[in-house]
Amino acid sequence: MQLSVGSFNLGQDEDHNSMHDHASCFTFPCSYPLKVMGQKTETFEKAVREILQKHLQGIAIEYDRRPSGTGKYLAITATFMATSREQLDALYRELNAHELVVMTL
């Protein structure tokens, strides 16, 4: 079972050239924390990093890892400068489609 949280309703801000998310007040570019959860394996962590690097080429990514209380699961938070709704949508689509990903936030 996979769960994705977050939907975006973007429109062009008439007074600015930046994109503005009317539903959640995102203005791009912005610092964005993306959390990915799955079983605590090297394969899971490697897959998440590869997907993020593929979509965020040339963008610095800061990673934070937190194991679950039982040690069975791992939450990876990747914080980066998001540039557009399309970028985030593509990231969420690919991460949620991966068999090792349990949930994204």
pLDDT tens profile 18-65: 444 444 568 999 999 999 999 999 999 999 999 999 999 999 999 999
Domain for residue 22, yes or no?
no
Domain for residue 16, yes or no?
no
Domain for residue 18, yes or no?
no
Domain for residue 71, yes or no?
yes
Q: Give the HSE-up count for residue 23: Cα atoms under 13 Å, Cβ half-sphere.
A: 6
Q: Give the chain's domain count.
A: 1
Which of 102, 43, 46, 47 minimizes the C-alpha distance to 75? 102
Q: What is the CATH number of the domain that holds 39?
A: 3.30.70.260
Give pLDDT tens digits for 66-105.
Answer: 999 999 999 999 999 999 999 999 999 999 999 999 999 9
Domain for residue 17, yes or no?
no
Range of the domain at 36: 28-104
Helix (H), strand (E) at residue 9: none
Q: Supply the Cα-derived Rg of the chain in whole angstroms.
A: 15
* 71 phi, psi to nearest 5 deg: 85, 0
d(CA 102, CA 75): 10
Domain for residue 7, yes or no?
no
